[in-house]
A and B are shown apart, each in its own frame.
Chain A
Amino acid sequence: MQSGPVNLERSARLPVVFFGHGSPMNALGGNRYTDAWRDFGARYRPRAVLMISAHWYAAGTRVTASARPRTNHDFVSFKGPVSSFQYPAPGDVALARRVQNLLAPIPVALDERWGYDHGAWNVLANAYPKADVPVVELSLDRTQPPQFHYDLAARLAPLRDEGVLIVGSGNVIHNIEIVRTDWPAEPAGWETRFNDDLRARLERGDHAGMIAYDRLGPDAQLAIPTPDHYLPFLSVLGLQRSDERPDIFIDGDDRGGLGMLSVAMR
């Protein structure tokens, strides 16, 4: 990866990136994942971020539209500094309306109540630690199937040429039961097999296969027991142009059950 910031012209196309966000504790930095996120942020300086986070999983498509979104602490299991962590980045109401227009006629609600959830701030606190880049969040619509999220994201492509960094934040492998428990029944190697398979599909551009993840067999069933953390990855796939390659800039496992793969399309 290059070092140092890149001064972008307003017309320069930004990559689209998926961060495997892991635990909220990552907001505090200090590991190889957060170092990679920090390097990414140092390389790209967008005028705004459009964040598609696993943790805004709503009944409908919504976009944050407040000037000063609050910092949500949407978890109960983590104490200490992260439980009061603040990420005071401004919102961008104009960008929210731009998203609304790009997605029309799909109804998109402007939401003044939702703030930054931990899927957003634990990544952005590393990539943009000064919290000086405006952020808008776009919800995942839990009533819609995977293909919807892929197609919806594709309609946001013009933003990449308008200085907006579109970020998906989730985990391609997210099995909290395995993280929480000693699990004697765990089949050996399922996580590595699934991750390797996903990487191969990324490399050959098998978007259809990755969208139909529920037909990828038992390893996928364990990797993606619920869709929320995987769908932001599909959003990023939907924004990949035919002339772009997937750059997997960090990979690995966090606590046996969280796949930390991060990939940029550029």
Chain B
Amino acid sequence: MTLLEAVEGRLAELERCFDDALDVALPNPVALIFSDLPLGYQGKRDLVFAMDLLNEGENECALIAGFVRDRLHDEPGADVAYLKREAWYYLRTSIDPTWQFDDGEPSLVAALGYLAIMLRERPPAGERAALLRRLRSDAGTLTARL
């Protein structure tokens, strides 16, 4: 699996989470067909954030992950280490202050998996740090490349 394929797969999953979260959050019945709107990934993310379904750090992480996909799409093999690190920075500041001491390797795979779980389940604040650590651990060898 290439980097681009891995990122695209995770972002597609996250976009489905955006759809599901918005279906629940929007008035029912809505006066428009949400899926017909030409929003795309970033537009849906904007809407999810505006409806307070993601916090600021989570939203920034999701935003930057979209940039990673775009960059790799434009130039397969591009160096996205900076973007990956920045996405991770924002996500870790969204969890709890002690996460700022974490010196583990950033993992975009884990970050995107975490965001999907946050949208689906929003686990209690006290469980989130452990969740992200577990996801990073589970990301395994992909972490080194992503």
Contacts and interface: CB of A to CB of B under 8 A. Distances in A.
Partners in one complex: yes
The binding surface of chain A is classed by DSSP as: loop
Contact of A181 (B83, B86, B92, B97): B97
Contacts of A187: 101
Nearest to B85: A214
A131 interface: no
A185 B89 contact: no
Contact of A143 (B67, B101, B103): B67
Instruction: Name the residue in B82, B92, B97, B98 with the highest tally of chain A Cβ atoms < 10 Å from its Cβ.
Output: B97
* A contact residues, range: 20 to 34
A59 interface: yes
A209 interface: no
A256 interface: no
A227 B86 contact: yes
Given A143-B83, A218-B103, A225-B89, A185 B67 contact: no
B90 interface: yes
A222 interface: yes
B96 to A, nearest CB: 8
Interface in B110-141: none
Given A143-B83, A187-B101, A221-B100, 19 more contacts: A59-B67, A144-B82, A145-B82, A146-B82, A175-B100, A176-B93, A177-B93, A177-B100, A181-B97, A183-B97, A185-B97, A185-B101, A222-B100, A225-B92, A225-B100, A226-B86, A226-B90, A226-B93, A227-B89
B71 A143 contact: yes
A123 B83 CA distance: 29
B101 A218 contact: yes
Contact of B97 (A145, A177, A221): A177
B53 interface: no
The binding surface of chain B is classed by DSSP as: helix
B64 interface: yes
Interface residues of B, number: 17
A187 B97 CA distance: 12
Contacts of B86: 142, 226-227
Interface in B20-43: none
Nearest to B79: A145
B103 A221 contact: yes
Interface in A197-216: 214
Interface string A167-206: 0000000011110010101010000000000000000000
Contacts of B83: 143
Nearest to A177: B97
B40 to A, nearest CB: 14
6 contacts: A142-B67, A143-B83, A187-B101, A214-B85, A225-B93, A227-B86
Contacts of B103: 218, 221
Interface in B70-105: 71, 82-83, 85-86, 89-90, 92-93, 97-98, 100-101, 103
A143 to B, nearest CB: 5
Q: Which 8 A-B pairs have the closest CB atoms?
A: A145-B82, A177-B97, A226-B89, A185-B98, A143-B67, A183-B97, A225-B93, A181-B97
